[in-house]
Amino acid sequence: MSDVIKLISPIDGSVYAERTALDDAAVDRVVSTARTAQASWAAVPVAERVAYCLKALEALKAMNEEVVPELAWQMGRPIRFGGELGGTIERTEYCAKIAAERWPMWSAPTRRASSATCAACRSASSW
């Protein structure tokens, strides 16, 4: 029997979403796929990575009317305070602005960043 992960909304304590948890083998496959993808991503010049991230951000912004209420139900921050999307936009735009300057090792395909900076996943936000 699979475990079910329940997302409880802080707004009213109701179950907002339920998802079946992955078993160990599925998690291993996902991590392996992410590691393989990371190797390809690491070879992409930083300017191109920034362009991809900003394109993804534009797609997220276009979904604002859907995303803000969704995040409000999940995170509990009232929409009238701008929801959680504003912070994601600010952080992504700031990281895009400073990427080449602050992380020059990402621009050189012959150099590797530390293991801490080569995580298989990129967090879209602080949470």
Q: What is the pLDDT of residues 28-63, one digit of tens each?
A: 999 999 999 998 988 888 889 999 999 999 999 999
Domain ranges of the chain: 4-106
pTM score: 0.67
pLDDT of residue 83: 67
Contact 123, 57 (CB under 8 A): no
Architecture of the domain made up of 4-106: 3-Layer(aba) Sandwich (3.40)
pLDDT of residue 25: 96
Q: What is the pLDDT of residues 71-122, one digit of tens each?
A: 888 888 777 766 677 888 899 999 999 987 877 655 455 555 544 444 444 4
CA-based nearest residue to 74, from 85, 63, 58? 85
User: How many Cα atoms sit within 13 Å of 1 on the Cβ side?
Assistant: 3
